[in-house]
Amino acid sequence: MFRSRSWFGGSLWRTKNPHSLDHLKYLHTVLSKNQTVSESNRSLLVETLRSIAEILIWGDQNDSSVFDFFLEKNMLSFFLNILKQKCGSYVCVQLLQTLNILFENIRNETSLYYLLSNNHVNSIIVHKFDFSDEEVMAYYISFLKTLSLKLNSHTIHFFYNDHTNDFPLYTEAIKFFKHPESMVRIAVRTLTLNVYRVQDHSMLRFIRNKTAAPYFSNLVWFIGNHVLELDACVRNDADHSSQSRLADLVAEHLDHLHYLNDILCLNIDELNDVLIDHLLNKLFVPLYIFSLLPAHQFSPLQEGKPRVSSVVSLFLLSQIFLITRQEALVNDLANVILKSTAANWENGSFVAQARPVFGAPSRTLEESLETSTSSLGEATSEDVSEPVGNLNITDEEKEQRLAQEAQKVFLEVVVNSLDCDENDYAALFALCLLYAISQNEGLDHIMLDGMLLPARNTELKQRYNAWLVQKLVNIVTQSCQAVCKIRLVTLELAILLLQKLVLLEGKNLLSDAHYAAVVGAKEESAALLTSYYKREDMFGEMFESEDEDMRKKPLNVEWLMMDSNVLLPPTGTPMTGIDFGKRLPCGEVERARRAIRVFLLVRSLWLNLSGLKETQLPLTNRNDCVQSDTDLDLTNSDLLACHVIGPDGVRNHRFLVVESNQIILVVPVPGKLGYGRPKLAAMLHDLDVSADKHDSRSLFLSAKFTTVGPMVNTKFIFDDHIRCMAAQQRLTKGRTKAREEKMRQMEKLLDIPPSESPQYNLLQQLRHQHRSAGSRSMLHHKIPGFPTQIRVSSASPRPSGDEGSEASNSPGTRSRDGSPKLPRPRSEEIQLESIKVKQHK
Amino acid sequence: MSYAYLFKYIIIGDTGVGKSCLLLQFTDKRFQPVHDLTIGVEFGARMITIDSKYIKLQIWDTAGQEAFRSITRSYYRGAAGALLVYDITRRETFNHLTTWLDDARQHSNSNMVIMLIGNKSDLESRREVKKEEGEAFAREHGLIFMETSAKTAANVEEAFINTAKEIYEKIQEGVFDINNEANGIKIGPQHSPSNSNLSPGSKPPSQPSGCC
Ligand SMILES: Nc1nc2c(ncn2[C@@H]2O[C@H](COP(=O)(O)OP(=O)(O)OP(=O)(O)O)[C@@H](O)[C@H]2O)c(=O)[nH]1
Ligand SMILES: [Mg+2]
């Protein structure tokens, strides 16, 4: 809307072409004539700046003389001049956006140099905008971020001045590191990472000497305060009422760790030294690790210092080991947790030197930046604590301290948290921490051998951490009891860790006693499950669905540690929305589900430790089913013609085959006599069959799972009610048989002697009567000629005559392909063998 | 100018699909492409009205930050809406949608509204991805879908505004916890449930301009 107005009535200088040097000259006069911003000319000014940007972008790609003129007339100074006039947020925002557009769309490095050449950009960066205006703040920080994306080893010198020791782009940006607006904080982080990765030595030295300690100490304090907030949220939310707040705080902590990790991964040694020192001595050790100990211990050191609950502390420490693999950091941290003893900490620090304290930095970031950048050249090391130094204890020291050595202060607490007598609240996190440490690739293996991994020294009598294994075995054993407070997720993790501890190259190092305990647990879990066992379809379905669920979603510890819900005390009610595996069971059905899962978990542990392969599970292997539209040889199959109407209302002509525990719908394959192409396939035992009340020729079929095509309340229409009834019988009998077979498999799995339930007997009786009536099949007996008719309608005829007279009743069934006659099972007996699947090329 | 709500958007998709151009086209129509000069920007804000309420949209482009995991993570979490953009003339940008979507779903607030955009609809002759394919993908993943052109401005308004409408509806339904700013929604300074009227003297912007 301004375009027309601003150019309307312009001077004679105005040119037709908005993209030209002449037009830029014209705009220059506009600026020159309007040096003072007023209410009446601000729109004109804004529009002029915009047009200048547009011409420059055009010039960048088409005409470099535009930039010469721009530089010659020092046109960026107009921008600055306007800014300095306190002209309100509208003009500031427009101006910043124009600069954004300009810097983002310039492609030539030389054009960029022109823009940056006389330090105006730095003057704009340090301009005191009204940052209380959120719009100004957003555009300003985007501007800085855009500039940071232009940094490289050449352009860095326009921003970092090593004579004046000045780097406003960086120092101004980091002042907003804890801005309440998350997008602003993210932009600051992006900018810092973009700066660090330029890898300019003198710039990095500036960052390290002048800014690293103030920035990192304030950052660490900021993170620590977030953690305290998180802890308060957990403490005050026993009733699970502020789940979303907690979720945010957890995600925020993860963001912090990922940011720190992103810095560490740039592998800038001088920076990492300072960062790691701050992290260890001002946050991780004093706040996270010290909080593991009961409040009275360590009191002289930590008096009055904030702490978090040990559950929160274990949770946060696990996150660290899951996210960062930076050797220097994780080794020192793991060393403190796994190795340090009370004696090590006598002087308040681990092997003397730095004394870890979580406390507010002596000055705010802005204050420290002011002093450190004004005192030229001199490094302020006041905030930098001494490096922790060599945390590894020498052999000599080891011997001296042998007496006290037994007490590994922190490890003791962690491992003792594995006792689940009251609940498994802390145990879950202790497991996570130990697991996270054991899988961290940045860690020195020597530290883990015999501790969290099997000892590789074959001389040793005990090649694994028996103390810890005993605790894990206890969790497994307790989980198999009818009444217990251990959640499934805890059991699964304990099993995962146990396997890590004792399996070396597939071989299990367990002592006889420990192995016997596992075997015992496996039997207990089977006994527990047997107590819930019912010879019902429902139970079979439940068993299979739990098995499949666990197969589909194996435990992912990293994801588990992203779930803030586990931070709240374990609960039983599903109404919190917490996953089944992460809470206690509620009600009889859930207890049965739990028993199934415990059985499956412990069984797989036992198999792995015994070096055995699973041969009995899953009960249904859908991989054996017809999977695709690969053509099937159906020359020996019974085919029933029907029309099928799916949920989409489309009506199709199909042939129904019931074989090998499956229902398959096929269409004839052109040019391949006797073959059918599957359009739909499902396991019979997944099938729901219901008759159509209004039409005796129709059936409704649904299947939870299909291996080809969907089947949801699909209508099958047969030629007449008799064929319909026949199909229904075939399907329901086949299903009954498949389900029975499944029950037998399950009983074998649980060592239950085959039962003689009334339901079962009834079925057998029925079958017996049926046979003794002298009919080989209801179909054949009651409907003479029926199968023949099927074949008539079939486009893939099978060899005729195999059923005797019935076949010969219809001339249309004469075998045309002359395939050999094969004995065919009675049609009510559904074959269990697989269909021959032939690849059709 | 004060607003009833502020919605934060992010805009994601492969490089070169036109994210920056879409953003600038929406926030500042004055940059009409002349002489094949399409200009983009990576941040912008604009006021719109929905249901006669002022809603400010703040759009943060995430391009160029993929190198850092921490950055992408946090961007997703802070947004109420996301525009997932592909280029209809480059099939591979369509093929990568699943990866983008997985990433978005993993890191974002579960209520985040995602709009799928097939951009560069002006280049019909070079089309590699059919409109139906975009529609099918959107249907399958529960997204809203639209084809746009940052060059001709076709559907650009609609894309941003329909996303806002969807977020607004979710707020009305009470799905979003609007008191939690981590969701990417902010309540305006003068907004209160009893008095959501606009401050006197302000009228809905008749035409988009950068002045909001
Ligand atoms: N024809 C046509 N070209 C477009 C359109 N949108 C963008 N472009 C062009 O596509 C190219 C890339 O556009 P950008 O907006 O920079 O792409 P981007 O997604 O921001 O790319 P990155 O910032 O690298 O992630 C530019 O050359 C634009 O001119 C459109 O709708 N039609
Ligand atoms: Mg871009």
pLDDT at position B194 over 80: no
And the tokens for A176?
Answer: 């907003």
Q: Quick check: helix, strand or coil at residue A141?
A: helix
CB A267 within 8 A of CB A329: no
Q: Which ligand is the nearest neighbour of the Cα of A105?
A: 1
Q: Give pairs for A63-67: CB < 8 Å, separation 24+.
A: A63/A20, A63/A21, A64/A110, A64/A111, A65/A21, A66/A21, A66/A24, A67/A110, A67/A111, A67/A114
pLDDT at position B3 over 70: yes
pLDDT of B168: 95
pLDDT of A616: 79
Of A316 and A766, which is predicted with more confidence?
A316
Q: Which residues of B touch A1 (CB under 8 A)?
A: 207, 209
Query: Up-side HSE of residue B69: CA atoms within 13 Å toward CB?
Result: 15
* B71 contacts A189? CB cut-off 8 A: yes
pLDDT of B178: 75
The residues near A761 (Cβ < 8 Å, ≥ 6 apart) are: none
And the tokens for A232?
Answer: 């308060």
pLDDT in tens, A731-750: 888 888 888 888 888 888 88
pLDDT of B63: 67
pLDDT at position A373 over 80: no
Least confident of A121-130, A518-527, A572-581: A572-581
**Residues A319-347: what's their mean pLDDT?**
86
pLDDT in tens, A701-723: 888 778 787 778 888 899 888 88
Which runs of consecutive H residues, i.e. helices, occur in A401-487? 402-405, 409-416, 425-438, 445-448, 466-479
Least confident of A618-622, A766-770, B117-121: A766-770
B65 in ligand 1 pocket by Cβ < 6 Å?
no
CA of B20 to the centre of ligand 2 (A): 4
pLDDT of A407: 73
Of A374 and A137, which is predicted with more confidence?
A137
Residue with tokens 């090391």: A381
pLDDT at position A27 over 80: yes
pLDDT of B20: 92
**Residues A548-572: what's their mean pLDDT?**
87
Distance between CA A167 and CA A151 in Å, rounded? 13
**Residues B166-186: what's their mean pLDDT?**
86
Which runs of consecutive H residues, i.e. helices, occur in A773-809? 778-782, 786-793, 805-808
**Residues A172-189: what's their mean pLDDT?**
94
Distance between CA A317 and CA A292 in Å, rounded? 10
**Residues B192-200: what's their mean pLDDT?**
43
Measured on CA atoms in the order A229, A231, A237, A240, is the torsion positive or negative?
positive
Q: How confident is the model at residue A751 (pLDDT cuts 50, 70, 90)?
A: confident
Residue with tokens 């990922």: A258
pLDDT at position A762 over 60: no
pLDDT at position B29 over 80: no
pLDDT of A38: 86
What residue ranges define each of the domains in chain B, with the CATH number in brackets?
Answer: 5-187 (3.40.50.300)
pLDDT of A16: 63
Residue with tokens 């930095």: A361
pTM metric for this prediction = 0.81
Query: Up-side HSE of residue A721: CA atoms within 13 Å toward CB?
Result: 6
Q: How confident is the model at residue A341 (pLDDT cuts 50, 70, 90)?
A: confident
Nearest C-alpha neighbor of A788 from the set A719, A685, A697: A719
ipTM of this predicted structure? 0.89
* B41 contacts A57? CB cut-off 8 A: no
pLDDT of B182: 77
pLDDT in tens, A585-603: 888 888 888 999 999 999 9
How many cross-chain Cβ pairs, A to B, lie less than 8 Å apart? Answer: 102
**Residues A443-458: what's their mean pLDDT?**
84
**Residues A140-152: what's their mean pLDDT?**
94
Distance between CA A216 and CA A365 in Å, rounded? 9
Q: Quick check: helix, strand or coil at residue A454?
A: coil
Q: How confident is the model at residue A240 (pLDDT cuts 50, 70, 90)?
A: low
pLDDT at position A780 over 50: no
pLDDT of A346: 65
Residue of A nearest to B57 (CA): A135
Of A61, A183, A258, which has the smallest distance from its Cβ to B70's Cβ? Answer: A258
Q: How many helices (H) and strands (E) does chain A have?
A: 36, 10
Q: How confident is the model at residue A257 (pLDDT cuts 50, 70, 90)?
A: very high
Distance between CA B161 and CA A262 in Å, rounded? 35
CA of B87 to the centre of ligand 1 (A): 9
pLDDT at position A760 over 60: no
Beta bridge partners of A680: A665
Q: Which amino acid makes up residue B79?
A: A
pLDDT of A397: 53
**Residues A188-207: what's their mean pLDDT?**
93
Least confident of A335-344, A491-500, A665-674, A750-759: A750-759
Q: Is the peptide bond before A754 cis (omega within 30 degrees of 0)?
A: no
The residues near A180 (Cβ < 8 Å, ≥ 6 apart) are: none
pLDDT of B65: 64
The residues near A501 (Cβ < 8 Å, ≥ 6 apart) are: A438, A452, A453, A454, A464, A465, A468, A469, A472
Query: Up-side HSE of residue A486: CA atoms within 13 Å toward CB?
Result: 30
Least confident of A1-5, A324-328, B92-96: A1-5
**Angstrom distances, CA of residue A762 to CA of A308, A725, A778, B112:** 64, 21, 18, 56
Of A37 and A177, which is predicted with more confidence?
A177
Helix (H) or strand (E) holding A749: helix A721-750
Residue with tokens 């003129």: A69
Largest Cα separation within chain B, whole Å, is 53
Residue with tokens 């950068």: B210
- Percent pLDDT > 70 in chain A is 80
Distance between CA A467 and CA A469 in Å, rounded? 6
CB A812 within 8 A of CB A832: no
**Residues A791-812: what's their mean pLDDT?**
41
Residue nearest (by alpha carbon) to ligand 1 atom 30: B120
**Residues A6-15: what's their mean pLDDT?**
42
Residue of A nearest to B180 (CA): A245
Q: Which of A7, A61, A183 to mutate to test the interface with B (most CBs of B within 10 A)?
A: A183
pLDDT of B31: 64
- Percent pLDDT > 90 in chain A is 30
B152 in ligand 1 pocket by Cβ < 6 Å?
no
pLDDT in tens, A382-408: 444 444 444 455 555 555 545 444 578
Q: Which amino acid makes up residue A655?
A: F
* A104 contacts B177? CB cut-off 8 A: no
Distance between CA A445 and CA A453 in Å, rounded? 9
Q: How confident is the model at residue B12 (pLDDT cuts 50, 70, 90)?
A: very high
pLDDT of A369: 79
Mean per-residue pLDDT of chain A: 80
Mutate to test the pocket of ligand 1, among B31, B38, B60, B148 (most ligand atoms within 8 A of CB): B38
pLDDT in tens, A406-431: 578 888 889 999 998 888 999 999 99
pLDDT of A457: 75
pLDDT at position A775 over 80: no
pLDDT at position A767 over 60: no
pLDDT at position B42 over 50: yes
Nearest C-alpha neighbor of A53 from the set A19, A83, A82: A19
pLDDT at position A776 over 50: no
**Residues A259-266: what's their mean pLDDT?**
95
Q: Which ligand is the nearest neighbour of the Cα of B14?
A: 1
* A258 contacts B73? CB cut-off 8 A: yes
CB B115 within 8 A of CB B147: no
